[in-house]
Structure 1
Amino acid sequence: MIVRACTCVGISLAVLISANASANELSVGLGGIYHISPYADYTKDFSTIPFAHYENDKIYFRETSLGYIIYHDDKNEFSATLSYLPYEFKPSDSDKKSLQQLDKRETTALAGMSYYRHEKWGTVKLSFSGDILDKSNGFIGEASWMHAIKMGKLSIIPSAGITWYSNSFTQYYYGISDHESHNSGL
């Protein structure tokens, strides 16, 4: 089966509960991601992910990404990043027998570059990264917008964006190999 590179639109909502954190303070929270799976009859469409946030002038930890700030001014920021990618497929999460015959797809880590543009109406993020744990050997490009809404100690950060995946990334997470096709009938 041949799978082409795809563009997906995703919406996530991250909720960070913390004291009003300033530079050099750590805040932790819990995030939720709703994902519409391309697999029919696959029941896992919502995931929770622990998030952390820490920043100083050169290093940050935002949600699931560690970054080293190469350049920044009042509105712009360029960073080198390492990130955890929570994508996975567990055949046992499906009620469909054919999907249970597929191989497990595992989470991975990414290394790349990010650019942030900070404005009053929100932050625009552009990033490009690649798989460094030899899971898919693929690449991801992202363009997204986010805006923190602060309510005392609670911050709600809605975001929306578009993500591009390379062919090898798409094949690993969403494709079906000849071996899997033979076993599952898919």
Structure 2
Amino acid sequence: MTYSGIKTLTQRLVCIGGLSLFATTAHAEWSLGVAGISSDGSFRGIDRDTFAVPLIGYEGERVYFRGLEAGYRLNPQPRNTPPAQRSPHEWAIVVTAAPFRFRPSDSDDAQMQLLDSRSFSAELAIDYKYRTPFGVADLRAGQDIRGNGHRLSGSYAYPISTDFRRWQVSPAVGVTYISSGYTDYYYGVSAQESILSGLPEYSSQDAFNPFARVSGYYRFNESWSMFGAFTGSRLSSKIANSPMAEGRYINSVILAVSYTF
């Protein structure tokens, strides 16, 4: 699902955009690492969902793996092409894992414990980036691989660095449109669940969630690097009004360490 978004439900996202930024700066083709992810889904009775995931990175001419995302470049450019001669347009087909879930046993609310679990998912999407000296615009359209719904997102990031090879900080803002299938899967309450839990039945609708993100990396040497990202989003009322939800804001944090070779 998105994943910073749902990218804005967890923010595909949470971290995918940042992981992509981190990976594209690597000089080696392969990298290995581990990431810690902590996300707040704004569910009643659950403070945060925190877990660790292994990271495998690969940068080929067309194919790449970047943490939780795999992609196929539609218009690849040689790596040795000077930045001034590169095309500002980048197209790719991507598959992204969504580290967002609901586990009834994690909630300390007795009614929430009687609901069905909502598991991790993944998304197949087409991604377009437009790079300029003033920042990077990113548009993405994706479909949940299990058919839960679709998602559209747009963002603008402004990378800041005095030594691109060693460190970079990239603030970004954007908005994600999430179809009713997505929001209903994670925040809807079915008739059967309502009978069992006592919560009112609820069917969620399409939602627009604005978000802000700050991501960055630091390279200790040619092999070891660290990446971090913080993403915050304001939930649409279509989600916040769910009896499963608590609050209008969600956030996610990721911290990763990687070894390239």
- Whether these two folds match at TM > 0.5 is yes
Is residue 141 of structure 1 aligned with residue 145 of structure 2? Answer: no
- Other-structure match for 2:182: 169
**Gap runs ≥5 in structure 1:** 1-6
In structure 1, what residue type is equivalent to 2:154?
A
State the match for 2:119 in structure 1.
106
Question: 3-state SS of the aligned residue for 2:142?
Answer: strand
Matched residue type, 1:62: R
- In terms of fraction of residues, the more strand-rich structure is 1
Distance in 1 (CA, whole Å) between partners of 2:74 and 2:93 is: 7
Q: Which moved more, 1:38-47 or 1:72-81?
A: 38-47
Question: Which residue is equivalent to 2:91?
Answer: 78
Once superposed, which parts of structure 1, at least 4 consecutive aligned residues long, lie more than 6 Å away? 15-18
Does the CA-based 8 Å contact 1:115-1:125 persist in structure 2? yes
What's the CA shift string for 1:38-67, capped at 9, x where partnerless?
422222255555444432221122331111
Using the TM superposition, give the Cα deviation of residue 131 of structure 1 relative to its aligned residue in structure 2, in angstroms.
Answer: 1.2
Looking at structure 1, the residues matched to 55 and 169 of structure 2 have their Cα atoms a distance apart, in angstroms, of: 13
Equivalent position of 1:62 in the other structure: 66
**Deviation of residue 99 (structure 1)?**
0.7
Matched residues in 2 for 1:108 and 1:59: separation?
22
Q: Deviations over 1:87-131 (max 9, x none)?
A: 110111111111111110011121120001223444322111111
Matches within 5 A, 1:1-186: 8=8, 12=14, 14=18, 21-22=26-27, 25-31=29-35, 35-44=39-48, 48-72=52-76, 73-132=86-145, 134=146, 137-146=148-157, 147=159, 159-186=172-199
> What is the distance in 1 between the residues matched to 2:168 and 2:53?
16
SS state at 2:126 partner: strand
Given the superposition, is the C-alpha separation of residues 176 and 156 from structure 1 closer, same or farther in structure 2, using an over 3 Å criterion?
Answer: same
Query: How far apart are residue 141 of structure 1 and its match?
Result: 1.2
Q: Which residue of 2 aligns with 1:3?
A: none
Unaligned 5+ segments in structure 2 are 1-6, 77-85, 200-261
Q: Which amino acid aligns with 2:129?
A: Y
2:92–2:127 CA contact under 8 A, matched in 1: yes
Partner Cα distance (1:151, 1:93) in 2 = 41
Q: Deviations over 1:113-172 (max 9, x none)?
A: 00012234443221111111x2x5211112124437568766665544322211111100
Give, in whole Å, the separation in 1 of the partners of 2:90 and 2:106: 40
Q: Aligned letter for 2:109?
A: K
Distance in 2 (alpha carbons) for counterparts of 1:8 and 1:93: 21
TM-score, scaled relative to structure 2? 0.56
1:59·1:68 contact (CA, 8 Å) conserved in 2? yes
Moved more, 36-45 or 26-35: 26-35
Equivalent residue letter for 2:26: A
Q: CA 1:141/1:44 → structure 2, altered by over 3 Å: closer, same or farther?
A: same
- Normalising by structure 1, we get a TM-score of 0.75
Match of 1:4? Answer: none
The percentage of aligned residue pairs carrying the same residue is 30
Count of aligned residue pairs for this structure pair: 177
State the one-letter code of the partner of 2:31.
S
